[in-house]
Amino acid sequence: MKAFVINHYTKGGLQLADVPVPEISEHEVLVEVHAASVNLLDEKIKTGAFKLILPYKFPLILGHDVAGVITQVGKNVQQFKIGDEVYSRPSDFSIGTFAAFIAINENDVAFKPKNLSMEEAASIPLVALTAWQALVERVNLKSGQKVFIQAGSGGVGTVAIQLAKYLGATVATTASEKSFGMLKGLGADVLIDYKKQDFETILKDYDVVLNSQDNKTLQKSLRILRPKGKAISISGQPTADFAKTIGAPWFVRLILFLISSGIRRNAKKLDVDYSFLFMKANGKQLNDITKLIEQGVLRPVVDQVFPFNQTNAALEYVRSGRAKGKVVVKIK
């Protein structure tokens, strides 16, 4: 089958190669990939940014989101059958959606929302699971609370805004002014033009921050929280607690403890909580998200769909930061 691979960490492009169709285990399904979406995580893994915590072996097929059709099931698979339309964020070390087929553990798979196309469905899993695990699982966001979601027009931002509004929160976000109309339509209450305004002078006593920007922005975000407020970062410094949850070796825990010491110290001074979130594959949560999509609570925001042979161009577009919502690769 055709797949886009890397043979080592690189700042260059992916290589189109012929590789074997994956063999499935007794708990896996083989999915014929119809569409995959592109995430900044693909770029970070490609360049080795996460090699300490995700030591992948090469050659490596990238791609973290998939929508497609099951063509084979393992002997112990109970939830799915051949012909089912599904979508997934495969677990770490089982990624590889920039390919014709992928083997996925059934626990990481959910039925595709009936009201979405394959391309729309492929845009959902990673960003929606990130938003869910931050706002529902990690902080249990409640009606009446205030949440600051950075980069509202990005992939995570567009879903997190909708989810936070469904949960009853007041939502503030940053974006360029040209995205304000779209973000109002998604439910954002407070819109801050990051090119002209400083959110730290506008926001105060927020309950939750979902940080997706640089360390300087994260430090400022701590200061807009109320005492005991929570900052969840998906791009800041990983912590030793995070390293422990993924079973990282002791020296990785020590490195992350030292790297994150500054932000943790500042959070303690401000009496707020800081934690790092690296989302996990979870088919059950994805099924809950499917229900919200089919009810019209959540809708995908797809910026552009690229053909499979232009996967490198899709990755470059995501890397540029110009995308509004998600970028998708159509494979079948």
- All CATH 3.40.50.720 domain ranges in the chain, comma separated: 126-276
Spans of the chain, pLDDT less than 50: none
What was the pLDDT predicted at 234?
A: 94
What was the pLDDT predicted at 247?
A: 84
Q: Does domain 126-276 have CATH number 3.40.50.720?
A: yes
pLDDT in tens, 258-277: 988 999 999 999 999 999 99
- All CATH 3.90.180.10 domain ranges in the chain, comma separated: 2-124+300-330
What was the pLDDT predicted at 298?
A: 98
Q: CATH code for 2-124+300-330?
A: 3.90.180.10
Handedness of CA 63, 67, 72, 78 (dihedral sign): positive
pTM for the whole thing?
A: 0.96
What was the pLDDT predicted at 93?
A: 94
What was the pLDDT predicted at 255?
A: 87
Residue with tokens 């979406």: 37
Pairing mode of beta strands 2-6, 170-175: unpaired
Closest by Cα among 286, 261, 253 to 129: 286
pLDDT in tens, 309-324: 999 999 999 999 889 9
Where does 150-236 show beta strands of DSSP type E?
170-175, 190-193, 206-211, 225-233
